[in-house]
Amino acid sequence: MLNISTYSIASQINKQEFTAFQNLQQRKNSKAILKILGLTFALFVLSMFLPWTQNIRSNGYVTTLNPFDKPQAIQPLIGGKINAWYIKEGDIVQVGDTIALLEEAKADYLDPAILANTKEQQDAKVKSAAAYLEKRNLLQDQLNALTENQSSKLQQLTIKANQIKLKQQTTESELKAAKTYAENASQQLTRMQEMFEKGIKSLTDLETKKLTNREAQAKLITIENKLSDLDNELLALKQEVTITTTDFNQKSSKIEADIQSADSYRYTLLGESTKLQSKFNQIEQRQQSYVITSPVEGRITKVLKNGIGEYVKPQESIATIVPLKFQRAVELYIQPYDMPLIKEGKKVRLQFDGWPAIVFSGWPNNSFGTFGGKVFAIDNDISDNGKYRILVIEDDSEKSWPELIRIGSGARGLLLLNDVKVYYELWRKLNGFPPDFYEPTEKKSVKNKAPLRKLK
For the chain (456 residues), the mean pLDDT of every run of 10, in chain order, is 60 67 57 79 78 75 84 89 91 92 87 89 92 92 90 88 86 84 84 81 81 85 86 87 89 91 92 92 89 91 87 90 86 83 82 69 56 88 87 87 83 74 71 58 45 43
The confidence score (pLDDT) of residue 257 equals: 92
In DSSP notation, 2-64 reads: ---SSS--GGGS-GGG-HHHHHHHHHHHTHHHHHHHHHHHHHHHHHTTSEEEEEEEEEEEEEE
Q: Where are the beta strands (DSSP E) in 79-193?
A: 80-85, 92-93, 98-103
CA 232 vs CA 156, 167, 198, 225, 257: distances in Å: 18, 13, 48, 10, 37
**Cβ(303)–Cβ(89) under 8 Å?**
yes
Domain positions in the chain are 1-47, 50-69+326-448, 72-104+290-322, 114-268
CATH of domain 114-268: 1.10.287.620
- Measured in residues, the chain has a length of 456
Question: Which CATH code of 2.20.25.190, 3.40.50.970, 2.40.50.100, 3.40.140.10 fits the domain covering 72-104+290-322?
Answer: 2.40.50.100
Query: What is the per-residue pLDDT across 280-328, written as a single tens digit (0 to 9) for each?
Result: 998 898 888 899 999 889 999 889 888 888 899 998 999 999 888 888 8
Closest-CA residue to 101 (of 118, 75, 81): 81
The confidence score (pLDDT) of residue 323 equals: 86
The confidence score (pLDDT) of residue 5 equals: 61
**Which amino acid is it at 78?**
I
Instruction: State what percent of residues in the chain have pLDDT above 90.
Output: 21
CATH of domain 50-69+326-448: 2.40.30.170
**Cβ(74)–Cβ(318) under 8 Å?**
yes
> What is the pTM for the complete model shown?
0.53
CA 247 vs CA 241, 251, 323: distances in Å: 10, 6, 80
How big is the chain by its Cα radius of gyration, in Å?
60
Separation of alpha carbons 71 and 295, rounded Å? 12
**Cβ(115)–Cβ(276) under 8 Å?**
no
The confidence score (pLDDT) of residue 240 equals: 87
Separation of alpha carbons 207 and 204, rounded Å? 5
**Which amino acid is it at 394?**
E
Separation of alpha carbons 75 and 289, rounded Å? 11
